[in-house]
Structure 1
Amino acid sequence: MSEPSDEQDDMQHYLVCGTEDCQKKGQFYCNACHQPLCEQCRDEHVKNPDTKFHEIVLYRHRKKQLPVEKCKLHPTRNVDIFCKECKIPLCSKCSTTEEHQGHKFDDLEEIYAEKYALEQGELSKIQKYFLPTTQSLKSYIKEEATQIRKIMESIRTSMKAEAKSLKNLVDEVTSENIENTHTMEKSLLEMLKSQETTYDDYIAYLGKMSDEFQQYLSLTNQKLLFSETLTIKTIPETTKPVLPVFTGGKFSKDDISKLLGRVNVPNTEPEKRKIQPMEAESTHMKSSEKQLEQSKEKSDVKKTLSLSSSVTKVREYSVPGIKSALHVSVDQSGRLWVGDNKGNLVQTDLQGNLLQKIQTSGRYEGYHTATQDGDLIYSDKDKRVIFRITPDRRITEFIKTGDWSPVSVHSSRINGDILVGMIKDREDKVTRYSKAGKEIQNIQRDNQGQELYEYPHYITENINGDICTSDCNKRAVVVVNKSGHHRFSYTGQGSLFLPYGICTDVLGHILVCDCYSNIVHLLDQDGGFLSVILSPQQGIKYPRGVYVDEENNLYVGQAVNTTLTVYKYLQ
């Protein structure tokens, strides 16, 4: 049976203080005595002259006690030191023998504790990195297997449709050819009938001539001498019909295959599955206790949050330097970034004072986003570049997007990845970049090979990793999971739906502006409609941009003015 991990030890209810008759929680540990201590016993341990120099640490940082092993030469003694020259464990009495005279020794318990820590670290890597990473890769394989089955079934359906189409064409051509033979037969028979009539007329003519000759021959010879000499018309010439000949089609199985199409696996190098580097996971595993406590606090807050029965206006900002408020970002300092349909991107403080203004190519898109590092990223679809603005107002090129024009951008709150909605000619896609700007994923088609997007002009990410895209041309909110597989598309509630600004909250809700009805829809994590959270009745006329900050405040920007309104809708 394997030894429980530190985390498991910490959770055991029997970890009580090792001091006799003390039943308090043993949250500390004496590495010299190898026993847990409560806070009070620890203090007494430190004050006691016999134990005041003992090393006392938090229980989870304790040194593991060396397993007891008796010396073979001195059975009453334990093996507890290590001879560095001989590379063997010994007891203290062995170290005094002539054989080890002058040798250097190490504390075997220290070596054991160090080795134990290393092995525990490796075990932790298996549990926290190698196993979950491998399981994640395995889950991708299952998803891809499902995708392959769907794609192959779609291909088979297409093949049958192609074959049916070709068969219909073959039947049509065969029917036309058969009809043509009937027409040709009729024409040839009519020609022969005409020739038959010609010979019938000639035979009748010959009969008439025969009668006339008989009449002449019956007269006296003298009469015959003076009569006109009769001449016989030549036999009419006719032509033989040119008989039709059927020439069979010259085709092979390969020709049919070309007509029907073939299924081929592209002759390209298979793309290696992306494995999260150990360094990144190691950094994640070394998160400080403070960060873990903050994460726990957020989790506890999430458990207590729920939708309010009503939406309450908290405050309003009048944003200078813009024509409208179509997209909103809030950076780590709480300062606002707002963009309009003229490409004006401004930053203001909490009092509404203009801090900086930048001219971009952005229009009716979610073209800027605040990052975890305190920067702001914005896309320039004309220059095909994504720029970064640092807190010291320095602007640098961050990502070049090649032939694709970036229209929308979002920085993940989960891992800092950058999600970009892009267009090119009649193609559209969503690309994922690492926080360092390295391209790691492209999402363009669903499991059936159909295009997912038509104009992904606003984009965000949900708490489960779903990528939620507002697509005005498709008139839908298109949602895929973190692997890029299509989950669902939300198309409104019956009337025309023109989605604009989109965001998510800590409960996994999706909030999206409807440009047609001028309302804000509230959806659950799976695309189920929950309610109209904002409408003209709440004082919002033309909502276009939405954003939920870390304090669960909902910011709403409008198309007709520069007012940014903040609401509370969670309690």
Structure 2
Amino acid sequence: MALSESHAPPDAQHYLVCGTEDCEKNCQFYCNDCHQQMCEQCRDEHQKNKKTRNHEVVHYKQRKRRIPVEKCKSHPTKDIELICEECQIPICSKCTATKEHRGHVFTDLEIVFAEKVSQYQEEIDKIRNYFEPVSQEVKIEIAGDVTEIKKIMEDIRTAMKAEAEYLKRMVDTVTSDNIEQVNKIEQSLLQTLNSQNQEIDDYINYLNDLIQTYYGYLSPSKIENLTSSLKSKSLKIRRVPETSKPVPPVFTAGQHSKEDVAKLLGKITVPNTKAENRKIKPMETASTQLKPTGKQRKQDREKSDVKQTLSLSSSVTKVREYTVPGVCSVYHISLGKSGRLWVSDYIGNLVQTDLKGYQLQKIQTSGRDEGYHTVTHDEDLIYTDKVNKVINRITPDISITEFIKTGDWESLSIHSSHINGDILVGMIKDGKPSKVTRYNKTGSEIQNIQRDNKGQTLYGTPHYITENINGDVCVSDHYSGVVVVDKSGQHRFSYTGQGSWFRPYGICTDVLGHILVCDTYSDTVHLLDQDGQFLSLLLTEQQGLKYPYSVCVDDENNLWVGQYETNTVTVYKYLQ
């Protein structure tokens, strides 16, 4: 059965017939002016006809899709066939002469539709030729993982049962040995008691014989019997034999808990290992410009989803706390994606710990009350050494290397960009205005930010530094407040608090572009929007905050806060 174009799905494999009346041949061509599908013979006749020989006839797959016929609301007798470039609305030809569209530029709606159709067709081809097949490959891999997991779990169950059976046999063996020991002890005790019993029987027989002898003395039948009793000097009865009471054994029951039995039987644990992402085959046919990486697509999608769903919560909730060994206070926190964090105090201790509080690394640095360390995309730690005027790198295999030399400048604060991997460093030098220097991820200097467009110095002491989602460089400066410049280095705004005193320390930004900064003078965390407008005091002394020095936001949009005189990091939920 032949299908017409209007009833067929967009790319269905079906038989198209020529649209010319009484012609049922296979359609191969299409007239973009008449919007008619044609066979080869009808195309030739169409191009010979004087009325239609200038029409644009193309292969069917290159056709311009027909736009829906719709009447103009302002001019009901006219069809909508144009789009106003300034107003971005569809209009009819009569609308172009109206006052509302005077002087505007108009484009044929069919041309716009054709461009969009071409774009959508490209996307459909990508889906059909790459995304769908790759997704099916992932499904096959997942199915294989399901089978493998079921086999592994069945093996674990079998091993558990075998372990239990072995333990049962051991219990039976030990119980049998114990019972045999009890039988031997019982036999020995009974033998002793039987011997004592026999000794008493012998003694009773002795007493009976003695009674008979004495009765004979009481009524002598012969003179010699009387003579015998008279010769006896004294009457003496043997003492009752001494016997001892048996000492029975005592059974001490084993003190076993369920946990003890569990230790004997072994246990199942889930390794604390980050799950490895499945490898997705790259799309080789698409151009580089149209082919963002999987990581970029995921990040863009996640950021878009987060922006659409997250907002400031009506209240701030404490989620959990972590105690960091090896530091006396928490002046700066650097979070990685591996479930590990770096914490520094004001006497140069820099400690890496996991989220269970176990110390993994500890190094001594020249850092004090600055944000002098940061974690890169590759999970390397970069930290400043202002004494030796270098920036060091620590890789996950715990090797420390000299990464960047800063010349005569002392590097105070540092931040690794999550946008492009650039490294932002706040620096000071005697007799020179402070500055922020940008390095690329290989350590080459590419930008210096020092003055505003009026030539005024921007920074006093750039102790903490971070980057916002729009590329703004945000610096917490003890003397200048919060100083924000755009990615080109142009000064956007400065924030100096809500009162006469403002002492900023740790600073960070979140996925919504908020700026969060610690104020140690008022024991608060200030919340600003992306343009520097004050929104609220997010955390205050009433919530237990005392001398906040460091803040950062994790991948789950939780706020981590470190304070002076305690090695406890507190985590809060402030977005919903």
Q: Is the 8 A contact 2:461 2:478 kept in 1?
A: yes
In structure 2, the residue matched to 1:300 is: 305
In structure 2, the residue matched to 1:550 is: 555
In structure 1, the residue matched to 2:471 is: 465
Distance 2:416 2:527 in 1: 22
Structure 2: 5+ residue stretches without partners? 17-39, 46-121, 123-286
- Matches for 1:41-60 after TM superposition, within 5 Å: none
When residues 25 and 316 of structure 1 are mapped into structure 2, their CA distance, relative to the original with a 3 A threshold, is farther
In structure 2, the residue matched to 1:314 is: 319
- Matches for 1:247-326 after TM superposition, within 5 Å: 286-289=291-294, 291-326=296-331
Question: Is residue 435 from structure 1 mapped to residue 441 from structure 2 by the alignment?
Answer: yes
C-alpha distance after superposition, 1:328-348 (max 9, x if no partner): 011121211111101111110
Q: Is the 8 A contact 2:332 2:549 kept in 1?
A: yes
- Matches for 1:9-408 after TM superposition, within 5 Å: 23-24=8-9, 26=11, 286-289=291-294, 291-408=296-413
Question: Is residue 456 from structure 1 mapped to residue 453 from structure 2 by the alignment?
Answer: no
Per-residue deviation, 1:458: 0.2
Distance 1:454 1:290 in 2: 38
When residues 25 and 363 of structure 1 are mapped into structure 2, their CA distance, relative to the original with a 3 A threshold, is farther
Per-residue deviation, 1:473: 2.5
> Which of 488, 491, 499 is the equivalent residue of 2:493?
488
C-alpha distance after superposition, 1:140-198 (max 9, x if no partner): xxxxxxxxxxxxxxxxxxxxxxxxxxxxxxxxxxxxxxxxxxxxxxxxxxxxxxxxxxx
Structure 1: 5+ residue stretches without partners? 1-17, 36-69, 77-119, 121-281
Question: Is residue 445 from structure 1 mapped to residue 435 from structure 2 by the alignment?
Answer: no
Distance 1:349 1:289 in 2: 28
When residues 354 and 289 of structure 1 are mapped into structure 2, their CA distance, relative to the original with a 3 A threshold, is closer
Distance 2:416 2:428 in 1: 19
Distance 2:362 2:308 in 1: 39
C-alpha distance after superposition, 1:116-162 (max 9, x if no partner): xxxx9xxxxxxxxxxxxxxxxxxxxxxxxxxxxxxxxxxxxxxxxxx
Distance 1:284 1:323 in 2: 50
Output the TM-score relative to the length of structure 1.
0.52
Distance 1:25 1:355 in 2: 58
Distance 1:381 1:285 in 2: 44
In structure 2, the residue matched to 1:415 is: 420
Amino acid at match of 2:310: L
Q: Is the 8 A contact 2:303 2:511 kept in 1?
A: no
Amino acid at match of 2:525: V
Output the TM-score relative to the length of structure 2.
0.51
Amino acid at match of 2:473: I
Amino acid at match of 1:562: N
In structure 2, the residue matched to 1:189 is: none
Distance 1:504 1:490 in 2: 15
Equivalences, count: 313
Distance 1:391 1:285 in 2: 34
What percent of counterpart residues are identical? Answer: 68
Amino acid at match of 1:354: Q
Per-residue deviation, 1:21: 6.5
SS at match of 1:452: coil
Q: Is the 8 A contact 2:521 2:547 kept in 1?
A: no
Amino acid at match of 1:347: Q
Distance 2:527 2:443 in 1: 32
SS at match of 1:477: strand
Per-residue deviation, 1:24: 3.8
Amino acid at match of 1:411: S
Q: Is the 8 A contact 2:329 2:563 kept in 1?
A: yes
Name which of structure 1's ranges 408-417 and 285-294 shifts more when overlaid on structure 2.
Answer: 285-294
Runs of 4+ in structure 1 deviating by more than 2 angstroms, as ranges, are 18-26, 282-291
SS at match of 2:374: strand
Amino acid at match of 1:492: G
